[in-house]
């Protein structure tokens, strides 16, 4: 969107950050630490912000030796090109992450425990990499740490939820980015950015058209956020940026196929007991196309000396016989509970011919014959699956479970330099435009676990810090300097967490930090003698369709049983723990 002299600005900030995920939170934090006034916007409603970081384990890649780590990344990039300066800077930066954790978060990093060895341990110098964490894993604590970094700085940061960026506003002569047009809860607002705009809106995994155009794939099931729809790519193109890494993405192979936005069981390729015995994965025509016991390398599988993303199939199935079905019904592996849920989705047929017809897989019978032949030969000639994990198919009935290839996130976006400045088609910097996170990250192919978390910490800090710096030729925009002074409709959506909630007679406040939400859970409990008569939730930011539904259930049970110590709600254990603890703390106030 070109700037015109008659353009009306609604308000002005020093920095505007597009996307409140891990990279955006980091960029806003570091821009605010430069005493910049920051507007942080996100398309998601409050409680659903966070991008893929909200779903991430929280472990990050670090390096103990620069030359080894660089060589390791170069091997993972091959045969794709790389930007020497950007790669060098990235490796230098991740070597500093342990100190980063201590300096900026007061956390002592430790080995994450997720990987016993580097993801591509066959590569030369793979021992130069270390997988670390500064929080516990898979409980939302890493995201909450970054989120808190924003909420600790609300004096300098305004947050707008449900406010996607529509266009960048650009000077047509100098190409300088002057601001952002934002759809703020249904109203278009022109927001000036005095020093810089940071694009940190994630990838395009929820945009089927982009997935088809850039990845050449059909139906991929997202397993992270549902709000990454490729808007950052559109903004980059509008601004004249050079794109890179558009074909790179990663996954965890398969999810269940129920035709939903978020499918279940995204990590089933890792459950070795599920794929041991008379079972295999059938492609669209019923033939096998992968080693079902393969290592999970974010979707990449060994292929004739290289590692490539799994071939795309549009309606693959897990196929098994009765013996396998019964074996899985009695599974005792660490994933037994999930395995038993998966097989409840199986369809049944008395014969292979009938099953092949039901799942539209005409070559299924031949695939079973071939599979049994491989078992007799003691070698899997199709996919090199270990022979000791294979058992011949016996007589029916037979079963098939519909699955989908899934997608964790994409990496393509605007090409950036080592300062996280966005480059145009000629390789020149587009003034005042920066980029951080998955959108345009430096990874060409073969994603290495922990690298995206490492990059959001690195690129978020660099983009936020550099965007906040005063520019020699900053545009003179005669407008107010903060949305907090621009009227109630432009105020920040973010509120400081506070213990100063009102409580009347026989009412007590309890606040607990546990839970999956980004804010503490706060409750007000009303007591009549020794009996709880009401429990009010004053503050919470739990996921609406999980924790948000659990809280009313917990409340009703607590009032019915007159105790905070009730059973947790299945699937919402973190929310249950937080809500129970908040009520307990309120009751503790009564007993003081």
pLDDT in tens, 138-188: 888 999 999 999 999 999 999 999 999 999 999 999 999 999 999 998 999
Q: Does the pLDDT at position 436 exceed 50?
A: yes
Beta-strand relationship, 157-160 and 38-41: parallel
Beta-strand relationship, 421-423 and 531-539: unpaired
Tokens of residue 60, six digits: 């990050």
- If you average pLDDT over residues 510-531, what whole number do you get? 85
Is residue 440 within a helix (H) or strand (E), and if so which, with residue range?
none
- If you average pLDDT over residues 215-232, what whole number do you get? 93
- If you average pLDDT over residues 222-245, what whole number do you get? 96
Q: Does the pLDDT at position 365 exceed 80?
A: yes
Residue labelled with tokens 């004096």: 155
Identify the band that residue 483 occupies on the pLDDT scale cut at 50, 70 and 90.
very low
Q: Which of 14, 36, 4, 20 is nearest to 193 (CA)?
A: 14
Residue labelled with tokens 């703390």: 585
Q: Counting Cβ atoms within 10 Å, is residue 137 exposed (0-12), middle (13-18) or buried (19+)? A: middle
pLDDT in tens, 259-315: 998 899 999 999 999 999 999 999 999 999 999 999 989 999 998 999 999 888 999
Query: HSE of 55 in the Cβ direction (CA atoms, 13 Å)?
Result: 13
Tokens of residue 575, six digits: 């929310």
Q: Does the pLDDT at position 381 exceed 80?
A: yes
Would you call the peptide bond into 397 cis, given omega within 30 degrees of 0 as the criterion?
A: yes
* Domains defined along the chain, listed by start: 11-250+409-487 (3.50.50.60), 254-404 (3.90.700.10), 507-590 (3.90.1010.20)
Of 569 and 91, the one with more pLDDT: 91
Provide the pLDDT for residue 484: 45
Identify the band that residue 517 occupies on the pLDDT scale cut at 50, 70 and 90.
confident
pLDDT in tens, 403-430: 999 999 999 999 999 999 999 999 999 9
- If you average pLDDT over residues 126-138, what whole number do you get? 92
pLDDT in tens, 80-127: 999 999 999 999 999 999 999 999 999 999 998 887 788 999 999 999
Contact yes or no for 568/576 (Cβ under 8 A): yes
Q: Does the pLDDT at position 250 exceed 60?
A: yes
Identify the band that residue 34 occupies on the pLDDT scale cut at 50, 70 and 90.
very high
3-state class of 32 per DSSP? Answer: helix
Concatenate the DSSP letters of all residues of 104-139 into one string. HH----EE-SS-SS-TTTTSTTGGGEEEEESS-SSS
The model carries a pTM of 0.88
Q: Does the pLDDT at position 489 exceed 80?
A: no
Q: Which of 164, 171, 180 is nearest to 240 (CA)?
A: 171
Q: Measured between alpha carbons, how far is 228 from 435 in angstroms, rounded to an integer?
A: 15
Beta-strand relationship, 187-199 and 429-435: parallel
- If you average pLDDT over residues 38-48, what whole number do you get? 94
Phi, psi of 219 (to 5 degrees): -90, 110
Buried b (16+ CB within 10 A) or exposed e, 221-232: bbbbbebbbbbb
Q: Which of 357, 349, 398, 363 is nearest to 288 (CA)?
A: 363
Tokens of residue 464, six digits: 């936020």
Tokens of residue 21, six digits: 């995920």
Provide the pLDDT for residue 147: 94
- If you average pLDDT over residues 421-445, what whole number do you get? 97
Beta-strand relationship, 279-282 and 110-111: unpaired
Provide the pLDDT for residue 125: 95
Provide the pLDDT for residue 472: 75
Contact yes or no for 522/540 (Cβ under 8 A): yes
Q: Measured between alpha carbons, how far is 207 from 185 in angstroms, rounded to an integer?
A: 21
- If you average pLDDT over residues 32-44, what whole number do you get? 97
Provide the pLDDT for residue 541: 78
3-state class of 38 per DSSP? Answer: strand
Q: Measured between alpha carbons, how far is 170 from 191 in angstroms, rounded to an integer?
A: 12
The partner residues of 170 in beta bridges, in order of sequence, read: 2, 177
Provide the pLDDT for residue 320: 98
Q: Measured between alpha carbons, how far is 319 from 301 in angstroms, rounded to an integer?
A: 20
Tokens of residue 297, six digits: 């390398």
Give me the chain's average pLDDT, please: 92
Comparing 227-236, 324-333, 546-555, the range with the smallest average pLDDT is 546-555
Q: Counting Cβ atoms within 10 Å, is residue 336 exposed (0-12), middle (13-18) or buried (19+)? A: middle
Beta-strand relationship, 413-414 and 165-170: unpaired
Provide the pLDDT for residue 274: 98
Identify the band that residue 495 occupies on the pLDDT scale cut at 50, 70 and 90.
low
Provide the pLDDT for residue 482: 47
């Amino acid at each position: 969107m070109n700037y015109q002299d008659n353009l009306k600005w609604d308000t002005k900030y020093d920095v505007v950050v597009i996307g409140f995920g891990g990279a955006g939170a980091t960029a806003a934090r570091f821009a605010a630490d430069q005493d910049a006034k920051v507007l942080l916007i996100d398309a998601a409603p409050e409680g659903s912000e966070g991008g893929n970081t909200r779903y991430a384990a929280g472990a990050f890649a670090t390096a103990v030796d620069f030359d080894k780590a660089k060589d390791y990344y170069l091997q993972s990039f091959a045969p794709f090109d790389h930007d020497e300066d950007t790669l060098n800077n990235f490796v230098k930066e991740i070597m500093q992450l342990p100190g980063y954790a201590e300096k900026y978060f007061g956390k002592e990093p430790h080995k994450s425990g997720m990987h016993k060895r580097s993801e591509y341990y066959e590569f030369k110098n793979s021992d130069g990499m270390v997988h670390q964490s500064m929080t516990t894993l898979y409980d939302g604590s890493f995201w909450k740490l970054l989120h808190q970094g924003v909420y600790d700085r609300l004096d300098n940061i305004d947050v707008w939820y449900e406010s996607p960026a529509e266009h960048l506003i650009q000077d047509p002569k100098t190409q300088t980015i002057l601001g952002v047009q934002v759809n703020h809860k249904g109203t278009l607002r022109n927001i000036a950015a005095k020093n810089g705009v940071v694009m940190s809106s994630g990838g395009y995994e929820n945009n089927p058209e982009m997935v088809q155009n850039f990845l050449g794939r059909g139906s991929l099931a997202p397993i992270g956020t549902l709000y990454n729809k490729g808007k950052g790519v559109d903004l980059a193109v509008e601004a004249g940026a050079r794109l890179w890494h558009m074909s790179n993405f990663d996954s965890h192979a398969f999810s269940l196929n129920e035709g939903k936005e978020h499918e279940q069981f995204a990590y089933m390729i890792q459950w070795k007991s599920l794929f041991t015995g008379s079972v295999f994965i059938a492609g669209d025509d019923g033939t096998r196309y992968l080693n079902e016991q393969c290592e999970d390398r974010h979707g990449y599988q060994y292929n004739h000396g290289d590692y490539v993303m799994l071939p795309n199939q549009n309606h693959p199935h897990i196929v098994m016989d009765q013996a396998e079905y019964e074996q899985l019904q009695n599974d005792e592996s660490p994933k037994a509970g999930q395995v038993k849920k998966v097989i409840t989705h199986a369809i049944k047929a008395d014969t292979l011919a009938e099953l092949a017809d039901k799942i539209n897989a005409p070559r299924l019978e031949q695939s079973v014959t071939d599979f049994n032949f491989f078992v007799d030969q003691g070698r899997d000639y199709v996919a090199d699956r270990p022979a000791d994990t294979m058992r011949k198919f016996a007589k029916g009935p037979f079963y098939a479970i519909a699955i989908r290839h899934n997608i964790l996130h994409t990496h393509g976006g605007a090409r950036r330099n080592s300062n996280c400045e966005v480059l145009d088609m000629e390789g020149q910097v587009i003034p005042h435009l920066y980029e951080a996170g998955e959108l345009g990250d430096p990874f060409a192919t073969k994603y290495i676990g922990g690298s995206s978390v490492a990059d959001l910490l690195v690129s978020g800090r660099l983009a936020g810090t550099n965007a906040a710096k005063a520019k020699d030729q900053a545009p003179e925009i005669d407008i107010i300097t903060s949305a907090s002074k621009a009227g109630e409709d432009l105020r920040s959506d973010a509120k400081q967490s506070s213990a100063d909630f009102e409580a009347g007679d026989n009412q007590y406040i309890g606040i607990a930090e546990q839970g999956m939400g980004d804010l503490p859970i706060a409750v007000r409990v009303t007591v009549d003698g020794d009996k709880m008569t009401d429990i009010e939730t004053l503050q919470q930011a739990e996921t609406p369709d999980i924790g948000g539904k659990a809280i009313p259930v917990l409340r009703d049970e607590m009032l019915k049983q007159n105790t905070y110590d009730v059973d947790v709600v299945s699937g919402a254990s973190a929310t249950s723990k937080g809500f129970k603890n908040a009520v307990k703390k309120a009751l503790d106030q009564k007993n003081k």
